[in-house]
Amino acid sequence: MNDREKFLFDLQGFLVVPEFLTHSEVDELNAAVDANMEKCGKDDNHNLGNSKTLVGTHRRGMFTGMLTWPKPWCQPFREIIVHKKAIPYLNAIHGRGWRLDHSPFILTADMDTEGLILHGSTNHQFFGAAYYIYTNGQMRCGMVVLQYQLADVEEGDGGLCVIPGSHKANFPCPSEIREWEVNREVVYNIPAKAGDMIIFNEATIHGTLPWTNRERERRSVLVRYSPKYLHYAGGYYEPEFPEWVNELTEAQRSVLEPPYIYNRPLLEDDGQTVVRPRAE
């Protein structure tokens, strides 16, 4: 993570990393989704509050469980849970030692797909699962989301939106702003190309805008990470991993470990080597 990226992530609470995935990685991920279209379900996280502007004719499309899709379709998703290029970003914002939080999922949208109310913990009170601090020259965050775009998004299309800088906000966000009814100028619909990766902090106010592009559909993979001592959502494997986890590399398995500190497997920058320091 270079100095420009650190400045922007600290300032905005999110960062776009252009051309993060190669064309072949994007193609493999898209091919896996195309081959499993029948698995697309409806968003189980539907929430518009009382908004009249986030409404649509149908819910966001959602794929889950990609890590256990039949081979070869699970493979590209297993690979991105420990993407070599993501390691320096996660080390810079979580410190060494971080873990997968939630199961990865895919969001899709086509014309008139509804949005999702804006949410995010901000800094108006300390929330230990989703926070932002800067101390001793280092940023630290609760859960963060790495969003991989598999299709182009232009500003105004809809999809992921954020209120830049809101991870540091000191007052609760009024519901009419969260419902996208007023002050829309503070809400940014992040444009990105297929292959770009967007990191955002769960403390940053974010949500989904209704999809308005008839020509283009949304396809985003969301992979979430918490620091090694924290877990936000249910779904880690304890005391024993399920059988399919044995098919993963040691590095991939290391990010499925439950939250703890002592003797934790830590990933080296090569994305392959796992070490177990005896003490922190």
Ligand X SMILES: O=C(O)CCC(=O)C(=O)O
Of 67-75, 134-142, 204-212, 252-260, the window that binds ligand X (rule: CB under 6 A) is 204-212
Q: Round to the nearest angstrom and report the end-to-end CA distance of the chain.
A: 23
C-beta closer to ligand X: residue 51 or 208 = 208
Per-residue tokens: 137: 């020259």
Is residue 72 reached through a cis peptide bond, with omega within 30 degrees of 0 on the bond before it? Answer: yes
Binding of residue 263 to ligand X (CB under 6 A): no
Which of 108/254 has CB closer to ligand X? 108
Question: To the nearest whole angstrom, how small is the minimum distance from the Cβ of residue 89 to ligand X?
Answer: 18
| Residue with smaller CB distance to ligand X, 202 or 252 | 202
Query: What whole-number distance in Å separates Cα of residue 99 and Cα of residue 9?
Result: 20
Distance of CA 133 to the CA centre of its chain: 19
Given the complex with ligand X, which of 28 and 114 has the nearer CB atom? 114
- The yes or no reply on residue 107 touching ligand X (CB under 6 A) is yes
Q: Are 36 and 73 in contact (CB under 8 A)?
A: yes
For ligand X, the binding residues in 143-162 under the rule CB under 6 A are 147, 159-160
208 or 254: whose CB is closer to ligand X? 208
**Residue whose CB is less far from ligand X, 121 or 208:** 208
Burial string for 133-149 (b: 16+ CB within 10 Å, else e) reads eeeeeebebbbbbbbbb
The least CB distance from residue 161 to ligand X, in Å, is: 7
Residue nearest to ligand X (CB): 208
Omega cis (within 30) before 239: yes
* Angle CA 160–163–165, to nearest 5: 130
Q: Least distance to ligand X from the beta carbon of 168, Å?
A: 19
> Quick one: angle between helices 3-12 and 87-94, nearest 10?
50
User: Minimum distance from CB of 219 to ligand X (Å)?
Assistant: 11
Report the distance separating Cα 278 and Cα 34, nearest Å: 44
Residue among 94, 178, 206, 224 that touches ligand X (CB under 6 A): 206
Helix extents (H) in the chain: 3-12, 23-34, 75-81, 87-94, 175-178, 250-254
Q: What is the DSSP letter of 67?
A: G
Query: Which of 66, 106, 116, 221 is the binder for ligand X (CB under 6 A)?
Result: 116
- Which residue of 22, 45, 263, 272 would you call a contact of ligand X, by CB under 6 A? 45
Q: How far is the CB of 147 from ligand X (least distance, A)?
A: 6
Span interacting with ligand X, options 27-35, 202-210, 236-244, 248-256, rule CB under 6 A: 202-210
Under the binding rule (CB under 6 A), the answer on residue 208 touching ligand X is yes
Residues that bind ligand X (CB under 6 A): 45, 107, 116, 147, 159-160, 206-208, 220
